[in-house]
Amino acid sequence: MSFSAAANARDFETREPTSLHFRRDSNLKLYSELVDCTVREASKYSPVPNVLDLGAGDGQAALAFLRLGCTVTAVDISEHQLERLRHDCAAFAPQLAVHVCNLETDARNIPGSFDIISASSMLHHIPDYGQLIRDVIQLLKPHGQFFSFQDPLRYDSLPITDRLFSEVSYAACRIRQPDALGGIARKMRRMRGVYLADCVADNSEYHVVRNGVDAEAIRAIFESNGFLCRIVPYFSTPSDFMQPLESA
């Protein structure tokens, strides 16, 4: 297991259930609308769409697919998180399979082929997310779809006002978290471009280290493999104070 995978595994074993972003009504509304659109398209080719949920965590993202009648294979590096997922999604047990997997090294070995591959709030945890995408799209059926949600866009692709507001709202949330002083020290280190491969915090917030996720590079991967690509930008923050200013 690589340093980043090991650090992520430790972080995911102890993290709070459900991403803060998924607790926002506006985010859940947008997510549900996009999932519904994705499932309706998949249903044109398969009466019961088969979904692969990457980095499934506690199952919050998978529930939307399960409720629409899909079958879901949930994969995660954390066995503990998958146990929680299985418990929380017990009502959908006949539709659900779980699989422990280190996506950095073993994504191509996931058994099966899928109508939809879902990656919610997880690409930014993977150092080489481009290679992960290249690996998993080989698992898609003809007419299959890759659906990603809740990954931060490249910071230098955003207007300066959006970048400043994002920094302020993120700081407003983090300053109230445990180990605030440690967080400030990590922030100063990261501003110098220093990333520690075996640091849990650096891996769980890897997007901060490497300037977000490059949506245009992801678009190029899909288009070079014959896929159409749609990018839906929106604003989200984990800060309760700044959240009312969110605009979709």
**Residues 71-87: what's their mean pLDDT?**
94
- Please give the single-letter amino acid code of residue 8: N
List the structure tokens of 78: 């954390």
Domain assignment present for 41 = yes
Q: Is residue 32 part of a domain?
A: yes
Return the residue matching tokens 């920094």: 167
- Classify residue 171: in a domain, yes or no: no
| Domain housing 104 | 3-154+208-242
Is residue 221 domain-resident? yes
β-pairing verdict for 114-120 and 140-149: parallel
- 8 A C-beta contact, residue 62 and residue 51: yes
Answer yes or no: is pLDDT of 7 > 50: no
Smallest CA-to-CA distance from 205 within 218, 196, 214 is with: 196
Which of helix, strand or coil describes residue 229? coil
Number of residues assigned to the chain: 248
**Phi and psi at residue 120, in whole multiples of 5°?**
-105, 120
> Domain tally for the chain?
1
Instruction: List, for residues 179-219, the tens digit of each pLDDT value.
Output: 777 777 877 787 777 777 777 776 666 566 667 788 999 99
3-state SS, 46-92, equals: CCCCEEEEECCCCCHHHHHHHHCCCEEEEEECCHHHHHHHHHHCHHH
Establish if 125 belongs to a structural domain.
Answer: yes
- What pLDDT is stored for residue 152 in this prediction? 78
Structural domain contains residue 195 = no
Which pLDDT tens digit goes with each residue over 104-129? 899 988 999 999 999 998 888 888 89
76, with CB counted inside 10 A (0-12, 13-18, 19+), is buried
pLDDT in tens, 127-183: 889 999 999 999 999 999 999 998 877 777 778 877 776 667 666 666 667 777 777
Residue 3 has pLDDT above 70, yes or no: no
**Amino acid identity at 42:** A
Beta strands per DSSP E along the chain: 50-54, 71-76, 96-100, 114-120, 140-149
Sequence-ordered alpha helix ranges (H) in 89-128: 103-106
What CATH number should be reported for the domain holding residue 125?
Answer: 3.40.50.150
**Contact assessment for residue 242 and residue 168, using Cβ atoms and an 8 Å cutoff:** yes
Residue 109 included in any domain: yes
Considering the domain boundaries, does residue 179 fall inside one? Answer: no
Residue of 6, 172, 157, 24 lying closest to 78 (CA atoms): 6
